[in-house]
Amino acid sequence: MPNEIIDGKRIAQLIKDEVREHSAALRARRDVVPGLAFMLVGENPASQSYVASKERACEYCGFHSTTLRLPLETSEAEVLGRIDTWNIDPDIHGILVQLPLPKHIDEDRVIEAISPRKDVDGFHPINVGKLVIGQECFLPCTPAGIQELLIRSNVATAGKHVVVVGRSNIVGKPIANILLQKAVGANAVVTVTHSAAPDIAVYTRQADILIVATGRVNTVTADMVKEGVVVIDVGINRIEDADTAKGYRIVGDVDYEGVRQKSSLITPVPGGVGPMTIAMLMKNTYQSALRSATQR
Ligand code: NDP
C-alpha cells in the first residue's frame, strides 16, 4: 500500500499565495485592503506566539492588521467595548479574540459580541447554526483546513465513511457537520465517537477517512484502522525527548509510524493540519473584505 503524506505546509502556502494575489487584485480594483483585528488579553506565551504567526501571515497576504494587547486584569466590559468599536469600523473585516481568556471574562459572551459578519474564526452561534443547516457562513479555520486538505489531495468524500474521534466545538463537531453537508467536497456518511465510547476501535476500523482530534497521544494505533484508510491527525502534543535540543518534540494523536504502514494517505505532525488553520483564517478574512466591498 503506498503510504503518501498530505503535505499541509505546501498546501497552506498555496492558499496564502492565492489569498495574497486576490487581495492585491481587490486593492487595485476597489481600493479595499482586508483588515484583521487581534485582541490578546494577558501574557500567555502560546497565545502570544499564535498571534505573532497570524500577524506575519497578514503581512504576507497584504492585509492590514492591528493587535490590541491588554493586561490580564482587563475587565469584561472593556473587552466588549473594544469589540463594539471594531464591529462598526469599516476598515476591519475580521475580529479575532485569542482564546483562552482569563477566567473572569466569559468567553461565550465575548464570542457572541463579535459581529457574525466579522467572525472569521467561525465560532459565533449564528455561524455555527448556519453551518449546521447548510447556509453560507464563516467556517471555523481548523475544520475548514481539513476539508481543504482532502479536496486538494483529491480525496473523494461523497458516500465515504468518515469517522471523527473527538467532539469539541472547535474541531470534532464542526468537521463532522462540514463533511455531512450535501455539497461538493462533503456528502460523506459521518460517525462521531468520543471518550464515552467503550471501544472506539469498533468505529475507527470502519473508517475510509479517519479524523482524530483528542489531544491524547496514540489514541489511534495500527490495529485500529483498515488498509488504505486516509488519516487526518489534528493533535498537537508535546512529549519529552532528551535527544532534541529543546528537550521535547511535537506529535499528533495518532501512532504515526504504525498507522502509516496501513494508510493510503496521512497527515504528519507537525506539517499537516497545523499550518492550514492560519491559511484558512486569511481566506476567511479576504472573503469578508470582498463581501463588504461588493456590498458597498
Ligand atoms: P478537546 O480537549 O476540546 O476535545 C477532545 C475530544 O476528544 C473530546 O470530545 C473528548 O471526548 C475526546 N477524547 C479524549 N480522549 C479520548 C479518547 N481516549 N478516546 C476517544 N475520544 C477521546 O480538544 P480539541 O478538539 O480542542 O483539540 C484536539 C487536539 O487537536 C489537541 O491536540 C489540540 O492541540 C489539537 N488542535 C490542533 C489545531 C490545529 O491547528 N492543528 C487546532 C485545534 C486543536 P469527551 O467529549 O467525551 O471529553
Digit-coded pLDDT (tens) for 11-68: 999 999 999 999 999 999 999 999 999 999 999 999 999 999 999 999 999 999 999 9
Q: Are 265 and 232 in contact (CB under 8 A)?
A: no
- Dist. CA 254 → ligand 1 center (Å): 12
How does pLDDT run along the chain (296 residues), one tens digit per residue? 556 999 999 999 999 999 999 999 999 999 999 999 999 999 999 999 999 999 999 999 999 999 999 999 999 999 999 999 999 999 999 999 999 999 999 999 999 999 999 999 999 999 999 999 999 999 999 999 999 999 999 999 999 999 999 999 999 999 999 999 999 999 999 999 999 999 999 999 999 999 999 999 999 999 999 999 999 999 999 999 999 999 999 999 999 999 999 999 999 999 999 999 999 999 999 999 999 999 86
- Dist. CA 64 → ligand 1 center (Å): 32
Pocket of ligand 1 (CB under 6 A): 142, 165-168, 170-172, 194-196, 200, 213-216, 219, 234-237, 273-274, 277
pTM for this one?
0.97
The tens digit of pLDDT for each residue in 73-99 reads 999 999 999 999 999 999 999 999 999
- Dist. CA 184 → ligand 1 center (Å): 27
Question: Got the DSSP string for 174-226?
Answer: HHHHHHHSSSTT---EEEEE-TTSS-THHHHTT-SEEEE--S-TTSB-GGGS-
**Alpha helix stretches (DSSP H) within 31-171:** 45-61, 76-87, 107-113, 125-133, 141-152
3 state SS of 3: coil
- Chain center to CA of 3: 25
* Stretch (H or E) spanning 24: helix 8-30
Cell of 1: 500500500
- Dist. CA 213 → ligand 1 center (Å): 4
Select from 53, 147, 194 the residue to mutate for testing ligand 1; criterion: most ligand atoms less than 8 Å from CB.
194
Select from 121, 168, 231, 273 the residue to mutate for testing ligand 1; criterion: most ligand atoms less than 8 Å from CB.
168
| Domains observed in the chain | 31-115 (3.40.50.10860), 141-274 (3.40.50.720)
